[in-house]
Amino acid sequence: NAGVTQTPKFQVLKTGQSMTLQCAQDMNHNSMYWYRQDPGMGLRLIYYSASEGTTDKGEVPNGYNVSRLNKREFSLRLESAAPSQTSVYFCATLTGVPYEQYFGPGTRLTVT
């Protein structure tokens, strides 16, 4: 089992460019999440999907869109990248009891 996979691992964008971060899980978990991590800021929730067919905003949704393509896949789209979106992006799922977040390896994004 691969767990949670994310592509790409690294990306450099220019301001105004768009891109989609991909996340896939093979653990049959219902809930999936996108976080960003900035130095000293911990993990901030961008969007989440409690189950297939639903998505909801988290703490910092501005500038992002998401798609829950099916139970396995949850993508994050930056329509017009800004330098403030330079960060590490983690996709995660929610397991059953205990309710732990299971994280992917992350995508390191730089916007110049």
Partner 1 sequence: GQQVMQIPQYQHVQEGEDFTTYCNSSTTLSNIQWYKQRPGGHPVFLIQLVKSGEVKKQKRLTFQFGEAKKNSSLHITATQTTDVGTYFCAGPGGGFKTIFGAGTRLFVKA
Cβ 15 to partner 1 shortest distance, Å: 26
Cβ 22 to partner 1 shortest distance, Å: 16
* Cα distance between residue 61 and residue 101, in whole Å: 19
- Binding flag, residue 7, partner 1 (CB under 8 A): no
Name which of 75 and 107 has its Cβ closer to partner 1.
Answer: 107
Name which of 15 and 51 has its Cβ closer to partner 1.
Answer: 51
Quick check: 67 and 54 in contact, CB under 8 A? Answer: no
Q: Which two tokens stand for residue 45?
A: 């929730």
Quick check: 27 and 93 in contact, CB under 8 A? Answer: yes
> Can you spell out the DSSP letters for 4-44?
EEEE-SEEEE-TT--EEEEEEESS--SEEEEEEE-TTS-EE
Name which of 27 and 41 has its Cβ closer to partner 1.
Answer: 41
Name which of 28 and 99 has its Cβ closer to partner 1.
Answer: 99
Q: The tokens 């949704």 sit on which residue?
A: 61
Cβ 105 to partner 1 shortest distance, Å: 5
Which of the residues 87 through 106 are near partner 1 (CB under 8 A)? 90, 94, 98-106
Number of residues that bind partner 1 (CB under 8 A): 24
